[in-house]
Protein backbone atom coordinates (compact mmCIF):
# COMPACT_ATOMS: atom_id res chain seq x y z
CA UNK A 1 0.00 0.00 0.00
CA UNK A 2 1.32 3.32 -0.88
CA UNK A 3 0.38 6.89 -0.88
CA UNK A 4 -1.95 9.09 0.90
CA UNK A 5 -1.92 11.73 3.46
CA UNK A 6 -3.54 14.32 5.09
CA UNK A 7 -3.57 17.35 5.90
CA UNK A 8 -0.44 17.91 4.63
CA UNK A 9 -1.38 21.04 3.13
CA UNK A 10 -3.40 21.79 6.06
CA UNK A 11 -1.38 20.27 8.74
CA UNK A 12 2.01 21.47 8.08
CA UNK A 13 1.07 24.12 5.83
CA UNK A 14 -0.68 25.25 8.61
CA UNK A 15 1.43 24.82 11.34
CA UNK A 16 4.74 25.38 10.01
CA UNK A 17 4.21 28.03 7.57
CA UNK A 18 3.01 30.71 9.75
CA UNK A 19 4.45 31.97 12.84
CA UNK A 20 4.52 35.43 14.11
CA UNK A 21 7.65 37.18 15.14
CA UNK A 22 7.05 37.57 18.82
CA UNK A 23 8.23 34.17 19.83
CA UNK A 24 5.68 33.63 22.54
CA UNK A 25 4.80 30.01 23.10
CA UNK A 26 1.64 28.94 24.73
CA UNK A 27 -1.52 27.02 24.06
CA UNK A 28 -2.38 25.51 20.73
CA UNK A 29 -3.48 28.18 18.35
CA UNK A 30 -4.46 26.83 14.98
CA UNK A 31 -7.84 27.54 13.51
CA UNK A 32 -9.33 26.29 10.27
CA UNK A 33 -12.21 28.44 9.10
CA UNK A 34 -14.41 27.89 6.07
CA UNK A 35 -15.07 31.10 4.13
CA UNK A 36 -18.76 31.48 3.26
CA UNK A 37 -19.50 28.72 0.76
CA UNK A 38 -15.88 27.75 0.44
CA UNK A 39 -15.11 24.29 -0.88
CA UNK A 40 -12.71 21.80 0.57
CA UNK A 41 -12.56 19.46 -2.35
CA UNK A 42 -11.55 20.76 -5.76
CA UNK A 43 -13.96 20.21 -8.63
CA UNK A 44 -12.96 19.72 -12.25
CA UNK A 45 -11.69 23.01 -13.52
CA UNK A 46 -12.09 24.68 -10.13
CA UNK A 47 -9.04 24.65 -7.89
CA UNK A 48 -9.32 25.18 -4.15
CA UNK A 49 -7.51 28.14 -2.62
CA UNK A 50 -6.52 28.25 1.04
CA UNK A 51 -5.05 31.18 2.91
CA UNK A 52 -2.48 30.19 5.49
CA UNK A 53 -1.78 32.99 7.91
CA UNK A 54 0.18 33.61 11.05
CA UNK A 55 -1.01 36.10 13.61
CA UNK A 56 1.23 38.30 15.67
CA UNK A 57 -0.92 38.33 18.79
CA UNK A 58 0.85 38.88 22.08
CA UNK A 59 -0.56 37.39 25.24
CA UNK A 60 -3.67 39.34 26.17
CA UNK A 61 -4.21 40.78 22.72
CA UNK A 62 -7.76 40.50 21.44
CA UNK A 63 -6.88 41.60 17.93
CA UNK A 64 -3.78 41.04 15.86
CA UNK A 65 -2.32 41.58 12.44
CA UNK A 66 -1.98 38.91 9.85
CA UNK A 67 1.57 37.79 9.29
CA UNK A 68 3.19 35.37 6.92
CA UNK A 69 0.44 35.27 4.33
CA UNK A 70 0.45 32.31 1.98
CA UNK A 71 -2.15 31.40 -0.62
CA UNK A 72 -2.08 27.70 -1.46
CA UNK A 73 -3.76 26.75 -4.71
CA UNK A 74 -4.68 23.09 -5.10
CA UNK A 75 -5.34 21.53 -8.49
CA UNK A 76 -6.78 18.08 -7.95
CA UNK A 77 -6.84 17.04 -11.59
CA UNK A 78 -3.15 17.67 -12.05
CA UNK A 79 -2.20 16.63 -8.49
CA UNK A 80 -0.23 19.83 -8.23
CA UNK A 81 -0.22 22.86 -6.01
CA UNK A 82 1.34 26.28 -5.78
CA UNK A 83 2.27 28.30 -2.72
CA UNK A 84 2.01 32.03 -3.37
CA UNK A 85 3.66 34.01 -0.59
CA UNK A 86 2.55 37.58 0.07
CA UNK A 87 4.72 39.95 2.10
CA UNK A 88 2.82 41.14 5.12
CA UNK A 89 3.63 44.80 4.47
CA UNK A 90 2.09 44.77 1.00
CA UNK A 91 0.35 48.08 0.39
CA UNK A 92 -3.10 47.33 -0.97
CA UNK A 93 -6.78 48.12 -0.75
CA UNK A 94 -8.57 46.53 2.18
CA UNK A 95 -12.27 46.22 1.42
CA UNK A 96 -14.21 48.79 3.41
CA UNK A 97 -11.08 50.34 4.89
CA UNK A 98 -9.07 51.77 2.01
CA UNK A 99 -5.34 51.55 1.40
CA UNK A 100 -3.27 49.98 4.15
CA UNK A 101 -0.78 47.21 4.77
CA UNK A 102 -2.44 43.96 3.82
CA UNK A 103 -1.87 42.43 7.23
CA UNK A 104 -3.97 45.15 8.87
CA UNK A 105 -7.07 43.43 7.50
CA UNK A 106 -6.89 40.78 10.17
CA UNK A 107 -6.74 43.47 12.86
CA UNK A 108 -9.78 45.26 11.44
CA UNK A 109 -11.95 42.31 10.59
CA UNK A 110 -10.35 39.01 11.50
CA UNK A 111 -9.57 36.13 9.13
CA UNK A 112 -12.61 36.71 6.95
CA UNK A 113 -11.59 40.28 6.10
CA UNK A 114 -8.02 39.10 5.66
CA UNK A 115 -9.29 36.55 3.16
CA UNK A 116 -11.26 39.24 1.33
CA UNK A 117 -8.22 41.48 1.16
CA UNK A 118 -6.09 38.71 -0.26
CA UNK A 119 -8.86 37.76 -2.69
CA UNK A 120 -9.04 41.35 -3.90
CA UNK A 121 -5.29 41.47 -4.43
CA UNK A 122 -4.73 38.11 -6.09
CA UNK A 123 -8.10 37.66 -7.76
CA UNK A 124 -8.99 34.24 -6.37
CA UNK A 125 -11.81 33.21 -4.06
CA UNK A 126 -10.37 31.96 -0.79
CA UNK A 127 -12.19 28.80 0.28
CA UNK A 128 -10.80 28.48 3.77
CA UNK A 129 -8.35 30.14 6.11
CA UNK A 130 -5.84 28.46 8.35
CA UNK A 131 -4.51 30.70 11.09
CA UNK A 132 -2.01 30.19 13.84
CA UNK A 133 0.02 32.09 16.31
CA UNK A 134 3.19 30.31 16.92
CA UNK A 135 1.84 28.79 19.94
CA UNK A 136 1.30 25.21 19.09
CA UNK A 137 3.62 25.24 16.12
CA UNK A 138 6.70 24.08 17.94
CA UNK A 139 4.79 21.51 19.91
CA UNK A 140 3.17 20.16 16.79
CA UNK A 141 6.46 19.84 14.95
CA UNK A 142 7.85 18.00 17.94
CA UNK A 143 4.84 15.71 18.01
CA UNK A 144 5.44 14.92 14.36
CA UNK A 145 8.97 13.92 15.21
CA UNK A 146 10.65 16.88 13.57
CA UNK A 147 10.98 17.85 9.91
CA UNK A 148 13.77 18.06 7.34
CA UNK A 149 14.07 21.60 6.04
CA UNK A 150 15.97 22.62 2.94
CA UNK A 151 17.81 25.67 4.28
CA UNK A 152 18.65 27.76 1.20
CA UNK A 153 21.68 29.57 2.65
CA UNK A 154 23.61 29.70 5.93
CA UNK A 155 21.77 31.51 8.74
CA UNK A 156 23.30 33.03 11.85
CA UNK A 157 20.71 35.10 13.64
CA UNK A 158 21.01 35.01 17.44
CA UNK A 159 17.80 37.01 17.84
CA UNK A 160 15.54 34.36 16.35
CA UNK A 161 17.88 31.51 17.15
CA UNK A 162 18.17 30.63 13.48
CA UNK A 163 21.72 29.30 13.22
CA UNK A 164 21.79 26.76 10.43
CA UNK A 165 24.14 25.67 7.66
CA UNK A 166 22.86 25.59 4.12
CA UNK A 167 21.35 22.29 3.03
CA UNK A 168 18.95 19.83 4.57
CA UNK A 169 18.63 20.41 8.31
CA UNK A 170 16.65 18.26 10.70
CA UNK A 171 14.60 20.63 12.85
CA UNK A 172 12.60 20.16 15.98
CA UNK A 173 9.80 22.54 16.86
CA UNK A 174 12.02 25.22 18.33
CA UNK A 175 14.34 25.21 15.35
CA UNK A 176 11.45 25.37 12.90
CA UNK A 177 10.08 28.32 14.81
CA UNK A 178 13.45 30.09 14.64
CA UNK A 179 13.75 29.39 10.91
CA UNK A 180 10.32 30.88 10.29
CA UNK A 181 10.99 33.95 12.43
CA UNK A 182 14.43 34.86 11.12
CA UNK A 183 14.30 38.31 9.55
CA UNK A 184 18.03 38.95 9.55
CA UNK A 185 18.19 38.04 5.90
CA UNK A 186 19.14 39.48 2.59
CA UNK A 187 15.76 40.39 1.18
CA UNK A 188 14.23 40.90 4.60
CA UNK A 189 10.57 40.07 4.77
CA UNK A 190 10.48 38.82 1.18
CA UNK A 191 12.98 36.13 2.08
CA UNK A 192 11.38 35.32 5.42
CA UNK A 193 8.00 34.87 3.76
CA UNK A 194 9.59 32.61 1.16
CA UNK A 195 11.29 30.60 3.90
CA UNK A 196 7.93 29.96 5.48
CA UNK A 197 6.84 28.46 2.18
CA UNK A 198 9.86 26.17 2.42
CA UNK A 199 8.61 25.04 5.83
CA UNK A 200 5.24 24.21 4.35
CA UNK A 201 6.92 22.01 1.78
CA UNK A 202 9.00 20.35 4.49
CA UNK A 203 5.81 19.56 6.32
CA UNK A 204 4.26 18.07 3.20
CA UNK A 205 7.30 15.88 2.67
CA UNK A 206 7.17 14.72 6.26
CA UNK A 207 3.56 13.74 5.98
CA UNK A 208 4.02 11.96 2.69
CA UNK A 209 6.80 9.92 4.17
CA UNK A 210 4.96 9.21 7.39
CA UNK A 211 1.43 8.52 6.25
CA UNK A 212 1.53 5.98 3.47
CA UNK A 213 -1.66 4.31 4.63
CA UNK A 214 -5.08 5.68 5.44
CA UNK A 215 -4.72 4.44 8.99
CA UNK A 216 -1.50 6.40 9.45
CA UNK A 217 -3.19 9.42 7.94
CA UNK A 218 -5.76 9.23 10.69
CA UNK A 219 -3.04 9.15 13.31
CA UNK A 220 -1.51 12.33 11.93
CA UNK A 221 -4.90 13.95 11.68
CA UNK A 222 -5.40 13.32 15.36
CA UNK A 223 -2.17 15.20 16.03
CA UNK A 224 -3.50 18.09 14.02
CA UNK A 225 -6.85 17.98 15.73
CA UNK A 226 -5.33 18.25 19.16
CA UNK A 227 -3.80 21.59 18.17
CA UNK A 228 -6.64 22.97 16.10
CA UNK A 229 -10.03 24.60 16.40
CA UNK A 230 -12.38 24.00 13.48
CA UNK A 231 -15.07 26.39 12.33
CA UNK A 232 -17.46 25.17 9.67
CA UNK A 233 -15.15 22.32 8.78
CA UNK A 234 -15.87 18.62 9.24
CA UNK A 235 -13.26 15.98 9.77
CA UNK A 236 -14.55 14.14 6.74
CA UNK A 237 -13.78 17.14 4.55
CA UNK A 238 -10.45 17.56 6.20
CA UNK A 239 -9.57 13.95 5.66
CA UNK A 240 -10.45 14.12 1.98
CA UNK A 241 -8.39 17.24 1.52
CA UNK A 242 -5.48 15.72 3.34
CA UNK A 243 -5.67 12.56 1.35
CA UNK A 244 -5.60 14.62 -1.78
CA UNK A 245 -2.68 16.70 -0.58
CA UNK A 246 -0.63 13.62 0.09
CA UNK A 247 -0.83 12.68 -3.54
CA UNK A 248 1.23 15.75 -4.35
CA UNK A 249 4.93 15.43 -4.92
CA UNK A 250 6.55 18.27 -2.95
CA UNK A 251 9.07 18.59 -5.76
CA UNK A 252 6.18 19.54 -8.02
CA UNK A 253 4.81 22.18 -5.66
CA UNK A 254 5.95 25.67 -6.66
CA UNK A 255 6.86 28.10 -3.88
CA UNK A 256 6.83 31.65 -5.20
CA UNK A 257 6.76 35.05 -3.55
CA UNK A 258 4.90 38.05 -4.89
CA UNK A 259 7.34 40.44 -6.56
CA UNK A 260 7.41 43.89 -5.04
CA UNK A 261 9.45 46.93 -4.14
CA UNK A 262 9.97 48.50 -0.77
CA UNK A 263 9.06 52.10 -0.06
CA UNK A 264 6.97 54.21 2.24
CA UNK A 265 3.33 55.20 2.33
CA UNK A 266 1.33 57.02 4.98
CA UNK A 267 4.50 57.24 7.01
CA UNK A 268 5.04 53.49 7.05
CA UNK A 269 7.58 51.20 5.50
CA UNK A 270 5.64 49.15 2.99
CA UNK A 271 5.92 46.80 0.02
CA UNK A 272 4.46 47.96 -3.25
CA UNK A 273 3.09 45.32 -5.59
CA UNK A 274 5.63 44.73 -8.33
CA UNK A 275 4.89 45.43 -11.95
CA UNK A 276 5.09 41.73 -12.84
CA UNK A 277 2.75 40.67 -10.03
CA UNK A 278 -0.53 41.00 -11.98
CA UNK A 279 0.72 38.55 -14.60
CA UNK A 280 1.79 36.16 -11.84
CA UNK A 281 -1.62 36.39 -10.19
CA UNK A 282 -3.39 35.78 -13.51
CA UNK A 283 -1.25 32.73 -14.15
CA UNK A 284 -2.03 31.44 -10.66
CA UNK A 285 -5.74 32.06 -10.52
CA UNK A 286 -6.95 30.02 -13.50
CA UNK A 287 -5.73 26.58 -12.44
CA UNK A 288 -3.44 27.11 -9.42
CA UNK A 289 -0.48 26.14 -11.58
CA UNK A 290 2.16 28.54 -12.82
CA UNK A 291 2.82 27.96 -16.49
CA UNK A 292 4.38 31.29 -17.33
CA UNK A 293 6.14 32.29 -14.13
CA UNK B 1 -30.55 -52.63 10.91
CA UNK B 2 -29.92 -49.20 12.27
CA UNK B 3 -27.79 -46.85 10.26
CA UNK B 4 -25.20 -44.90 12.18
CA UNK B 5 -26.01 -41.28 12.75
CA UNK B 6 -23.31 -38.82 11.89
CA UNK B 7 -23.70 -35.33 13.22
CA UNK B 8 -22.37 -32.75 10.76
CA UNK B 9 -22.05 -29.19 11.98
CA UNK B 10 -23.37 -26.51 9.65
CA UNK B 11 -20.70 -24.56 7.82
CA UNK B 12 -19.39 -21.67 9.82
CA UNK B 13 -20.81 -18.39 8.60
CA UNK B 14 -18.31 -16.28 6.75
CA UNK B 15 -18.14 -12.83 8.28
CA UNK B 16 -15.60 -10.17 8.95
CA UNK B 17 -14.54 -9.95 12.53
CA UNK B 18 -12.69 -6.98 13.92
CA UNK B 19 -9.26 -7.92 15.15
CA UNK B 20 -8.36 -4.41 16.35
CA UNK B 21 -9.99 -1.04 16.74
CA UNK B 22 -7.66 1.90 17.27
CA UNK B 23 -9.52 5.08 18.04
CA UNK B 24 -7.63 8.36 17.74
CA UNK B 25 -9.53 11.18 19.29
CA UNK B 26 -8.99 14.85 19.89
CA UNK B 27 -11.42 14.85 22.80
CA UNK B 28 -13.34 12.61 25.15
CA UNK B 29 -15.40 9.87 23.63
CA UNK B 30 -17.82 7.39 25.07
CA UNK B 31 -17.87 3.63 25.10
CA UNK B 32 -21.31 3.79 23.51
CA UNK B 33 -20.01 5.83 20.58
CA UNK B 34 -17.05 3.52 20.22
CA UNK B 35 -19.21 0.42 20.24
CA UNK B 36 -21.78 1.89 17.87
CA UNK B 37 -19.10 2.73 15.34
CA UNK B 38 -17.51 -0.66 15.64
CA UNK B 39 -20.74 -2.51 14.98
CA UNK B 40 -21.96 -0.17 12.25
CA UNK B 41 -18.72 -0.39 10.29
CA UNK B 42 -18.61 -4.16 10.58
CA UNK B 43 -22.20 -4.25 9.40
CA UNK B 44 -21.24 -2.39 6.24
CA UNK B 45 -18.24 -4.64 5.70
CA UNK B 46 -20.30 -7.77 6.14
CA UNK B 47 -23.02 -6.44 3.89
CA UNK B 48 -20.33 -5.90 1.26
CA UNK B 49 -18.90 -9.37 1.86
CA UNK B 50 -22.25 -11.04 1.42
CA UNK B 51 -23.47 -9.03 -1.59
CA UNK B 52 -20.28 -8.61 -3.56
CA UNK B 53 -18.24 -11.66 -2.70
CA UNK B 54 -20.17 -14.56 -1.22
CA UNK B 55 -23.34 -14.33 -3.28
CA UNK B 56 -21.58 -14.46 -6.66
CA UNK B 57 -19.10 -17.09 -5.49
CA UNK B 58 -21.87 -19.36 -4.23
CA UNK B 59 -24.19 -18.89 -7.19
CA UNK B 60 -21.96 -18.00 -10.09
CA UNK B 61 -24.41 -15.20 -10.63
CA UNK B 62 -24.41 -11.44 -10.23
CA UNK B 63 -23.65 -9.52 -7.08
CA UNK B 64 -26.33 -8.05 -4.90
CA UNK B 65 -27.22 -4.40 -4.53
CA UNK B 66 -24.22 -2.30 -3.51
CA UNK B 67 -25.81 1.12 -3.70
CA UNK B 68 -26.04 1.56 0.06
CA UNK B 69 -22.44 0.57 0.66
CA UNK B 70 -20.49 3.17 -1.31
CA UNK B 71 -20.54 6.94 -1.46
CA UNK B 72 -21.67 8.14 -4.90
CA UNK B 73 -18.23 8.86 -6.41
CA UNK B 74 -16.98 5.45 -5.34
CA UNK B 75 -20.19 3.72 -6.38
CA UNK B 76 -19.71 4.95 -9.94
CA UNK B 77 -16.55 2.89 -10.08
CA UNK B 78 -18.08 -0.39 -8.93
CA UNK B 79 -21.41 -0.45 -10.78
CA UNK B 80 -21.55 -2.73 -13.86
CA UNK B 81 -18.96 -1.39 -16.27
CA UNK B 82 -17.19 0.58 -13.56
CA UNK B 83 -13.40 0.58 -13.66
CA UNK B 84 -12.95 -0.98 -10.22
CA UNK B 85 -15.82 -3.46 -10.24
CA UNK B 86 -13.67 -6.52 -10.76
CA UNK B 87 -11.52 -5.65 -7.77
CA UNK B 88 -14.50 -5.54 -5.43
CA UNK B 89 -16.85 -8.12 -6.87
CA UNK B 90 -16.23 -11.80 -7.51
CA UNK B 91 -18.39 -12.22 -10.56
CA UNK B 92 -17.17 -14.03 -13.65
CA UNK B 93 -16.31 -17.15 -11.70
CA UNK B 94 -18.42 -20.32 -11.75
CA UNK B 95 -20.22 -21.27 -8.57
CA UNK B 96 -17.86 -22.62 -5.94
CA UNK B 97 -18.50 -25.65 -3.79
CA UNK B 98 -17.18 -26.06 -0.27
CA UNK B 99 -16.74 -22.31 0.07
CA UNK B 100 -15.17 -21.41 3.37
CA UNK B 101 -13.03 -18.75 4.94
CA UNK B 102 -9.49 -19.29 6.11
CA UNK B 103 -9.19 -15.71 7.27
CA UNK B 104 -11.68 -12.83 7.38
CA UNK B 105 -10.55 -10.05 9.64
CA UNK B 106 -10.72 -6.28 9.56
CA UNK B 107 -8.48 -3.99 11.59
CA UNK B 108 -10.20 -0.67 12.19
CA UNK B 109 -8.62 2.73 12.81
CA UNK B 110 -10.90 5.64 13.58
CA UNK B 111 -10.68 9.37 14.08
CA UNK B 112 -12.90 11.32 16.44
CA UNK B 113 -13.00 15.07 16.90
CA UNK B 114 -13.05 17.08 20.08
CA UNK B 115 -16.75 16.28 20.40
CA UNK B 116 -15.92 12.59 20.47
CA UNK B 117 -17.84 11.98 17.27
CA UNK B 118 -16.17 9.50 14.93
CA UNK B 119 -15.83 10.95 11.42
CA UNK B 120 -13.54 8.62 9.51
CA UNK B 121 -12.73 4.94 9.82
CA UNK B 122 -10.22 2.90 7.89
CA UNK B 123 -10.60 -0.85 7.64
CA UNK B 124 -7.59 -2.97 6.85
CA UNK B 125 -8.98 -6.10 5.23
CA UNK B 126 -7.50 -9.57 5.17
CA UNK B 127 -9.89 -12.02 3.53
CA UNK B 128 -8.91 -15.46 2.31
CA UNK B 129 -11.61 -17.69 0.83
CA UNK B 130 -11.18 -21.19 -0.52
CA UNK B 131 -13.45 -23.55 -2.45
CA UNK B 132 -13.60 -25.77 -5.47
CA UNK B 133 -14.78 -25.64 -9.04
CA UNK B 134 -15.19 -29.01 -10.73
CA UNK B 135 -12.81 -30.47 -8.21
CA UNK B 136 -10.11 -27.89 -8.78
CA UNK B 137 -9.07 -25.70 -5.88
CA UNK B 138 -9.95 -22.03 -5.90
CA UNK B 139 -8.60 -19.31 -3.64
CA UNK B 140 -9.66 -15.70 -3.51
CA UNK B 141 -7.46 -13.48 -1.36
CA UNK B 142 -8.49 -9.87 -0.89
CA UNK B 143 -6.33 -7.46 1.09
CA UNK B 144 -6.08 -3.73 1.42
CA UNK B 145 -7.64 -0.77 3.04
CA UNK B 146 -11.08 0.81 2.86
CA UNK B 147 -11.93 4.30 4.07
CA UNK B 148 -15.46 4.69 5.39
CA UNK B 149 -17.39 7.80 6.28
CA UNK B 150 -20.78 8.11 7.95
CA UNK B 151 -23.98 9.11 6.29
CA UNK B 152 -26.58 9.20 8.99
CA UNK B 153 -26.13 6.01 10.93
CA UNK B 154 -24.72 4.15 7.94
CA UNK B 155 -21.03 3.91 7.13
CA UNK B 156 -20.22 3.99 3.44
CA UNK B 157 -17.04 3.17 1.56
CA UNK B 158 -15.51 6.43 0.34
CA UNK B 159 -12.02 5.45 -0.77
CA UNK B 160 -9.95 2.32 -1.07
CA UNK B 161 -6.68 0.70 -1.96
CA UNK B 162 -7.24 -3.01 -2.43
CA UNK B 163 -5.83 -6.01 -4.16
CA UNK B 164 -7.48 -9.33 -4.99
CA UNK B 165 -5.60 -12.45 -6.03
CA UNK B 166 -7.73 -15.17 -7.59
CA UNK B 167 -6.28 -18.60 -8.23
CA UNK B 168 -8.39 -21.12 -10.12
CA UNK B 169 -6.79 -24.46 -10.89
CA UNK B 170 -3.31 -22.98 -10.48
CA UNK B 171 -3.99 -20.02 -12.75
CA UNK B 172 -3.62 -16.74 -10.89
CA UNK B 173 -4.90 -13.26 -11.68
CA UNK B 174 -4.15 -10.17 -9.65
CA UNK B 175 -6.39 -7.10 -9.68
CA UNK B 176 -5.85 -3.84 -7.84
CA UNK B 177 -7.94 -0.74 -7.39
CA UNK B 178 -7.30 2.58 -5.71
CA UNK B 179 -9.39 5.65 -5.11
CA UNK B 180 -8.14 8.50 -2.98
pLDDT of residue A4: 30
Give B-chain residues touching A243 at CB under 8 angstroms.
147, 159, 180
CB B49 within 8 A of CB B136: no
Tell me the residues of chain A between 232 and 261 that have a Cβ less than 8 Å away from chain B.
234-236, 239-240, 243-244, 247
| Average pLDDT estimate for A15-21 | 33
- Nearest CA to CA, how far is A34 from chain B (Å)? 17
The secondary structure element, H or E, covering residue A80 is: strand A80-86
The answer, yes or no, to whether residue A237 has pLDDT greater than 90, is no
Per CB-CB distance under 8 Å, the chain B contacts of A218 are 24, 109-111, 120, 122
- What's the mean pLDDT when you consider all of chain A? 82
Is the pTM higher than 0.90? The answer reads: no
Whether pLDDT at A21 is above 50: no
- pLDDT of residue B163 exceeding 70, the answer is yes
Look at residue B100 and tell me whether its pLDDT is greater than 60.
yes
- Is pLDDT of B116 > 60? yes
Predicted confidence (pLDDT) at residue A292 exceeds the cutoff of 80 = no
Report the first-to-last Cα separation within chain A, whole angstroms: 36
Q: Is the Cβ of A3 closer than 8 Å to some Cβ of chain B?
A: yes
Please list the alpha-helical segments (H only) found in B76-159.
85-88
In this structure, what DSSP letter does residue A54 have? Answer: E
Convert the pLDDT of each residue in B117-147 to its tens digit.
888 999 999 999 999 999 999 999 999 999 9
Least confident range from B1-5, B110-114, B127-131: namely B1-5
- For the cut 50, the answer to whether the pLDDT of residue A10 exceeds it is no
Report pLDDT digits (tens) over B30-76.
788 888 899 999 999 999 999 999 999 999 999 999 999 999 999 99
Domains of chain B: 17-179 (3.10.450)
Packing angle, helices A277-287 and A104-122, rounded to 10 = 80
Half-sphere exposure of A146 toward its Cβ, with a 13 Å CA cutoff? 9
The predicted structure's pLDDT at residue A59: 59
Q: Which CATH class is domain A8-285?
A: alpha beta
ipTM of the complex: 0.76
Tell me the pLDDT tens digit for each residue of A177-211: 899 888 888 887 888 888 888 888 888 888 888 76
Q: Where are the domains of chain A?
A: 8-285
Q: Pick from B118, B119, B124 the residue to mutate for testing the A interface (most A CBs within 10 Å).
A: B119
A103-139 confidence digits (pLDDT tens): 999 999 999 999 999 999 999 999 999 887 666 677 7
Instruction: Give pLDDT, residue A259.
Output: 94
B24 in A contact zone (CB under 8 Å): yes
Q: Does A49 touch chain B (CB under 8 A)?
A: no
- Residue B174: pLDDT above 90? yes
Q: What is the pLDDT of residues A58-105, one digit of tens each?
A: 656 667 777 789 999 999 888 889 999 999 999 999 999 999 999 999
Range A179-210 burial, b when 16+ CB lie within 10 A, else e: bbbbeebeeebbbbbbbbbbbbbbbbbbbbeb
pLDDT at A100: 96
**Is it the case that residue A5 has pLDDT exceeding 70?**
no
Contact check, Cβ <8 Å, B109/A214: yes
User: Which residues of B are less than 8 Å from A143 in CB distance?
Assistant: none
Asked if the Cβ–Cβ distance from B122 to A230 is below 8 Å, we say no
Amino acid sequence: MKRRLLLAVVMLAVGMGCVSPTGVRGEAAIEILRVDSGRFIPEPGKPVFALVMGQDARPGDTRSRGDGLHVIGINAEEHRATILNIPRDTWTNIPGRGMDKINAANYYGGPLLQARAVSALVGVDIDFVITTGFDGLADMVDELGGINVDVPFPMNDPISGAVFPAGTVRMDGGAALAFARNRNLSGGDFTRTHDQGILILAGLSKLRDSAPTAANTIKWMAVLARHTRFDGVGFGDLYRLGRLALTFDPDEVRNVTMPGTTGSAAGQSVVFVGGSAPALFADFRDDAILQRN
Amino acid sequence: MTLPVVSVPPPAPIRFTGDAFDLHTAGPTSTASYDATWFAVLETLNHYLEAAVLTPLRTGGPAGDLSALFNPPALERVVPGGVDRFAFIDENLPALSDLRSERSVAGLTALAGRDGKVSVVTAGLDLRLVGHVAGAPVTVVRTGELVLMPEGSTWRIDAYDIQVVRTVANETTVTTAERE
